[in-house]
């Protein structure tokens, strides 16, 4: 304590001396004439990342959507970034999709899809025909939060939007919307009620008419957040949204009311589908027949931490048994979701987006609360993985593939 007090007194004396001396100092403005200030850092992070998309044929072209910081584009693999959405009236981004046959076509859904106590609000959907140089506004103004934009793989006129709707009230502008004319008009193809929006939407990579939708009943008040209710559920369509079938516990899902659900389909084997379900007892479920029947593969207490905020899962495009779960930590399963292990890397925590190249599962772009991290090798090396087991500590040396 004596040392701390002495140091404080010394610092106060130095500050006082500087103030007294500065009052008598002469400043010549001509000395700095013509000089301009420049930023020397640290660089701004634009808020947590809401979504990531890259061009398959040229993955050096990357788009990221920040939850409260607009859209950014890199053309050199993430070395430098350029803001391309600053002229638009919305800065909160929930979804980005690139039409891969013509990557100049880029769709952006505004309003972040992770509604915690603070949440960015959008005003609908936009499209660019020139790689983000200019934007067209396509409506859906009152959806407030768009968490997915799913594009038809070959038809540039067909797109689906997963809209969460308002956070602090009910509204009818939520659910799954579809356009058949490149965004000129929209049809609401899946709607449950004014409390239930769409939290996730995925398309079968081999059948563009087959989609899974995760409907989520949720509402926030100043004193409480309600995640789940009778409106929540997992749905599938086989005809491009004309008809939907609700998947229930009779098909193998957990019992009780659901909350938020995350979905992922294995590109290497589309019969394998995963669903991370917030329920009375949350669970990771897997289907091996394209979603007709399901089984619970993991119901451990930590399988779905903080589910209203973290619900995204991804599957390695070459290995249907390698599953990634995004939450405060980035974790991976090598056994089809039965167990998960933390990927130990020097990146920021709180993960909300993960893009994986469809032809190279080792090329991943992670979006988190601290920005973007890029990896070209899965599990390059894990050293001294420390695990606490019933009060004792075990240190192991592990080398990954």
Q: How confident is the model over 229-249, as a mean pLDDT?
A: 98
Structure token digits, residue 302: 């930590």
Q: What is the pLDDT of residue 383?
A: 31
Q: How many CA atoms lie within 13 A of 191 on its CB side?
A: 14
Contact 208, 152 (CB under 8 A): yes
- How much is the pTM? 0.83
Helix-strand-coil split of the chain, %, nearest 5: 10, 45, 50
- Dihedral of CA atoms 294, 297, 299, 302 in degrees, nearest 10, equals -120
Q: What is the greatest pairwise CA distance in the chain?
A: 84
Q: For residue 354, give both structure tokens.
A: 């993960």
Locate all alpha helices (DSSP H) within 142-186, ordered by sequence.
none
Beta-ladder partners of 360: 357
pLDDT tens, residue by residue, 150-197: 999 999 999 999 999 999 999 999 999 999 999 999 999 999 999 999
The confidence band for 376, taking pLDDT boundaries of 50, 70 and 90, is confident
Q: Is the pLDDT of residue 139 over 50?
A: yes
The pLDDT of residue 78: 93
Q: Is the pLDDT of residue 1 over 50?
A: no
Predicted local confidence at residue 396, as pLDDT: 28
Q: What is the structure's pLDDT at 391?
A: 29
Lowest mean pLDDT: which of 27-41, 48-62, 259-273, 367-381? 27-41
CA–CA distance, 229 with 212 (Å, rounded to integer): 19
Compute φ and ψ for 93, nearest 5 degrees. Answer: -115, 130
* % of the chain at pLDDT higher than 70: 86
What is the share, in percent, of the chain residues with pLDDT greater than 90?
74
- pLDDT, tens only, 96-110: 999 999 999 999 999
Which pLDDT value is given to residue 379? Answer: 43
Write the pLDDT tens digit of every residue in 252-303. Answer: 999 999 999 999 999 999 999 999 999 999 999 999 999 999 999 999 988 9
Lowest mean pLDDT, pick from 8-12, 122-126, 170-174? 8-12
CATH architecture of 49-398: 7 Propeller (2.130)
């Amino acid at each position: 304590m004596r040392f701390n007090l002495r140091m404080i007194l010394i610092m106060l004396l130095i500050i006082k001396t500087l103030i007294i001396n500065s009052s008598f100092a002469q400043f010549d403005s001509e000395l700095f004439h013509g000089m301009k200030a420049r930023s020397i850092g640290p660089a701004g992070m634009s808020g947590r990342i809401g979504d990531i998309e890259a061009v398959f044929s040229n993955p050096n072209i990357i788009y990221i959507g920040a939850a409260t910081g607009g859209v950014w584009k890199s053309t050199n693999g993430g070395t430098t970034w350029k803001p391309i959405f600053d002229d638009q009236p919305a800065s909160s981004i929930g979804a980005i999709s690139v039409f891969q046959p013509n990557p100049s076509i880029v769709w952006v859904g505004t309003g972040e899809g992770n509604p915690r106590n603070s949440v960015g609000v959008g005003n609908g959907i936009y499209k660019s025909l020139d790689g983000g140089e200019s934007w067209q506004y396509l409506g859906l103004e009152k959806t407030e939060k768009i968490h997915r934009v799913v594009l038809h793989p070959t038809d540039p006129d067909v797109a689906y939007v997963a809209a969460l709707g308002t956070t602090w009230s009910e509204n009818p502008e939520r659910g799954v919307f579809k356009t058949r004319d490149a965004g000129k008009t929209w049809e609401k193809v899946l709607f449950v009620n004014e409390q239930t929006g769409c939290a996730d939407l995925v398309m079968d990579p081999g059948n563009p008419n087959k989609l899974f939708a995760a409907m989520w009943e949720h509402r926030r008040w100043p004193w409480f957040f309600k995640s789940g209710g009778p409106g929540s559920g997992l749905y599938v369509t086989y005809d491009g949204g004309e008809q939907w079938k609700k998947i229930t516990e009779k098909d193998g899902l957990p019992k009780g009311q659901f909350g938020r659900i995350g979905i992922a389909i294995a590109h290497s084997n589309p019969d394998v589908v995963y669903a991370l379900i917030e329920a009375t007892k949350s669970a990771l479920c897997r289907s091996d027949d394209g979603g007709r029947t399901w089984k619970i593969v993991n119901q451990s207490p930590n399988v779905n931490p903080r589910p209203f905020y973290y619900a995204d899962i991804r599957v390695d495009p070459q290995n249907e048994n390698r599953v990634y779960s995004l939450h405060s930590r980035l974790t991976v399963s090598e056994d089809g979701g039965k167990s998960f292990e933390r990927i130990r890397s020097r990146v920021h925590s709180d993960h909300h987006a993960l893009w994986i190249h469809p032809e190279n599962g080792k090329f991943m772009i992670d979006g988190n609360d601290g920005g973007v991290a890029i990896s070209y090798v899965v599990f390059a090396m894990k050293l001294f993985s420390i695990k606490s087991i019933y009060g004792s500590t075990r240190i192991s040396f592990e080398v990954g593939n």
